[in-house]
Structure 1
Amino acid sequence: MNIYKQIETEIKAASNIVITAHKSADGDSIGSSLGLLYFIEKLGKKAVICHPDKAPDFLYWLDTSAILLMEENPEDVEAEINKADLIFCLDYNAINRVGPEMQVLLEAANGKKIMIDHHLNPEEFPAITVSETTASSTSQLIVDLIEESDNLELLDKKIGTPLYLGILTDTGSFRFNSVKPRTHEVLAKLLAAGVEHHLIHEKLSDNNTETRLRLQGYAMSEKLEILYDYNVAIISLSKEELAKYQYKKGDTDSLANLVLSIKGMRAAIVFTERDGIMKISFRSKGAENPVNLLAKEHFNGGGHANASGGMSDLTVDKTLVKLKGLIPLYFSN
């Protein structure tokens, strides 16, 4: 029995299924969670999605009413996880990625855990692990689950739309080197299932607010620093600067990729002061310019070679000084 047929068997045998994903939700964690939920429902079972926190506003054109949030409904999330006999761990490779509150619940949970993820170096906490680090996204792996469990006929527009979204966002609109022939094969299956890809692009692209554009304009014109000796760009934004432009979650998500589009840039780093810490986004181009080690070794983070995250408990100025001191060590060639 292949691992995906095994997962199908676990789904059909379970009485209470919970789907979890990492803190600071993105398109792939939302997309894979909803796609899996709808697939489970097509198999005649029920499930509940429990996420640590709210997704950025630009993802809320999807129906997220099935998602319970730890930050808003901790008692409900605790009850669902405690009674679950099957728990999916989507789009994260380490249990601490769900945040301290949900981590405690998951560690104490008796339900069988299934990891489906594409990040490097997965921890060994699940009973069943699907770790495909060459996959473009976790959403792509949910399509693999549907196909390899011999349920491709169940794939429809409802299941496919969030999965397309997850692949689209996690590949930077199909520009990252994580895109492989298999990625396009999966996309073709989603289109054949009725997914209206052009509408998904429109909903993601045509939803800017005035304050978001003004914040991004300020960041590019006033806060962009380029270290031309290494072709690395950095943007830092304090909590006061974010407040000035009425920052909402997701408003700075595209900044790193925008900076990376500058001709000749090897890497872009954007960090923002939120919740008392600096949240850092690392982006780079090419296998010769990985950023995951920088994130892991110095900023309590990690991720993909060309797209990683991290954090710093230093001040804005001290974080900036630290970054500038490290750039020559990682981008000297």
Structure 2
Amino acid sequence: MQNIEAFKAFLSKPQRVVITTHHKPDADALGSSLALASYLKKKGHQVHVITPTDYPDFLRWMAGNDEVIIYNENQQDHCAALVADATLIFCLDFSSLDRINELGAEVRESKAKKVLIDHHLEPEDFADFVKWTTEAAATAELIYELIYDLGDESLIDKSIAESLYAGIMTDTGSFHHPNTTKNVFRVCGELVGLGADTARVSKLIYDSNSVDRIKFIGFALSERLTVIPELRTAYFVISADDLKKYHSRTGDTEGLVNYALSIEGIIFAAVIIDRTEAIKMSFRSIGDFSVNTFARKHFEGGGHKNAAGGKSDESLEKTVSKFEALLKDYKKELTTTIVEYAD
């Protein structure tokens, strides 16, 4: 954060703080939000965490979860009042206000000072204070650095450390992705030193599956996976009926796209899901093929070079047809992309 001293001075007085994060929060979004909230409360600020939607049950172990306010029809007025009354609003793990749905307009109109902390491409210019870089693997990495830069590393306790570790662990794909840098290991090492139990966090995140979710994954792998070797592409198409059949809950489809990307020779993977209100899409890639560009250009989305999302307001069938047609347009890029790994 370039104006860290001005920000530190602003935080020297008690503030009414709202922390919000993107639609369908993942471990990085929620972990960053709850860790920051816990830290700010220790500093004497009044803090509320508001999420635009619900989030997976396997994240509810994080300290502070019981106080999260989910923006829905029963809480809209309450959330609006908190945003309007806030003197400081943190926007974590998203680059534009449309990523927080109806909350976006309320945050934009608020007279509060706004802070953007994020690592996604092309951030919207709306914040008074910004800590942003695409070189960070996770927003949780940036939250740790912010607390450190403010001179308050001693305030990071076990619960804060574990929430931040969860965000970094998941956004690096358990340290598998190319965004796993030297700084990632340095920060995680510090978090372990501050009390983070890595085995516990991994167990809570990855080993809390319901029987329905395991059966759904098996069904998706056997019945809904399409592989196109000549285009180095694999993708899942999941209907609303599929989700209903397996009693799908928020988070049950998370990580499915990685199964497609794990296939030998595949560099582009997608999951296309009928969420009824819209068709939601997740994209992953290996090497120089930019799914961020693909999502922004064709499916009103974006994200990172190798991990992005998108959506479509057309039917599932039309969306899949459009996607398959686009693959042919990108044939040269898909077939010539070089992926190199050291022996």
When residues 2 and 310 of structure 1 are mapped into structure 2, their CA distance, relative to the original with a 3 A threshold, is closer
Give the conservation status (yes or no) of the 8 Å contact 2:232–2:335. no
Q: CA deviation at 1:10?
A: 2.2
Letter in 2 for 1:33: S
Q: CA deviation at 1:11?
A: 2.4
**1:186-197 matched pairs, under 5 angstroms:** 186-197=187-198
Partner of 2:325: 325
Q: CA deviation at 1:332?
A: 4.0
Percent of paired sites with the same residue: 35
Distance (whole Å) between structure 1 residues aligned to residue 9 and residue 79 of structure 2: 25
Distance (whole Å) between structure 1 residues aligned to residue 5 and residue 266 of structure 2: 44
Partner of 2:296: 296
Partner of 1:53: 53
Give the conservation status (yes or no) of the 8 Å contact 1:14–1:85. no
Q: CA deviation at 1:41?
A: 1.7
Partner of 1:11: 11
Partner of 2:312: 312
Q: Within the alignment, does 1:30 sit opposite 2:40 as a pair? A: no
Partner of 1:182: 183
3-state SS in 1 of match to 2:272: strand
Distance (whole Å) between structure 2 residues aligned to residue 269 and residue 7 of structure 1: 40
Q: Please, what TM-score do these two structures have when normalized by structure 2?
A: 0.93
More displaced, 87-96 or 270-279?
A: 270-279
Letter in 2 for 1:134: E
Distance (whole Å) between structure 1 residues aligned to residue 167 and residue 4 of structure 2: 20
Letter in 2 for 1:252: T
Partner of 1:74: 76
Give the conservation status (yes or no) of the 8 Å contact 1:11–1:86. no
Distance (whole Å) between structure 2 residues aligned to residue 21 and residue 131 of structure 1: 15
Q: Give the one of 60, 83, 86 matched to 2:85.
A: 83
Q: CA deviation at 1:118?
A: 0.5
State the Cα deviation string for residues 133-183 of structure 1 (Å, max 9, x = none). Answer: 110111000000011111112222121111111111111111111111111
Q: CA deviation at 1:130?
A: 1.3
3-state SS in 1 of match to 2:134: coil
State the Cα deviation string for residues 48-94 of structure 1 (Å, max 9, x = none). Answer: 11111111122112241121111141121111101001111111110
Distance (whole Å) between structure 2 residues aligned to residue 209 and residue 61 of structure 1: 16
Structure 1 moving runs of 4+ over 2 Å: 1-15
**1:1-333 matched pairs, under 5 angstroms:** 3-63=3-63, 64-71=65-72, 72-99=74-101, 101-286=102-287, 288-330=288-330, 331-333=334-336
State the Cα deviation string for residues 234-259 of structure 1 (Å, max 9, x = none). Answer: 10111011111111111111110122
What RMSD in Å do the two structures reach over aligned CA positions? 1.4
Distance (whole Å) between structure 1 residues aligned to residue 93 and residue 5 of structure 2: 20
Runs (5+) with no aligned partner, structure 2: 337-343
Distance (whole Å) between structure 1 residues aligned to residue 325 and residue 301 of structure 2: 18
Residue correspondences, number: 331
Give the conservation status (yes or no) of the 8 Å contact 2:31–2:163. yes
When residues 209 and 261 of structure 1 are mapped into structure 2, their CA distance, relative to the original with a 3 A threshold, is same
Distance (whole Å) between structure 2 residues aligned to residue 201 and residue 3 of structure 1: 35
When residues 213 and 188 of structure 1 are mapped into structure 2, their CA distance, relative to the original with a 3 A threshold, is same
Q: CA deviation at 1:13?
A: 2.5
Distance (whole Å) between structure 1 residues aligned to residue 89 and residue 250 of structure 2: 27
Distance (whole Å) between structure 2 residues aligned to residue 218 and residue 90 of structure 1: 34
Distance (whole Å) between structure 2 residues aligned to residue 42 and residue 83 of structure 1: 21
Q: Please, what TM-score do these two structures have when normalized by structure 1?
A: 0.96
Give the conservation status (yes or no) of the 8 Å contact 1:92–1:119. yes
Letter in 1 for 2:81: A
Give the conservation status (yes or no) of the 8 Å contact 2:31–2:62. no
Partner of 2:340: none
3-state SS in 2 of match to 1:13: coil
More displaced, 318-327 or 42-51?
A: 42-51
State the Cα deviation string for residues 247-286 of structure 1 (Å, max 9, x = none). Answer: 1111111110122111111011001111321110001112
Give the conservation status (yes or no) of the 8 Å contact 1:116–1:141. yes
Distance (whole Å) between structure 1 residues aligned to residue 166 and residue 147 of structure 2: 17
Distance (whole Å) between structure 1 residues aligned to residue 188 and residue 82 of structure 2: 33
3-state SS in 1 of match to 2:231: coil
3-state SS in 1 of match to 2:53: coil
Give the conservation status (yes or no) of the 8 Å contact 1:5–1:148. no
Letter in 2 for 1:303: G
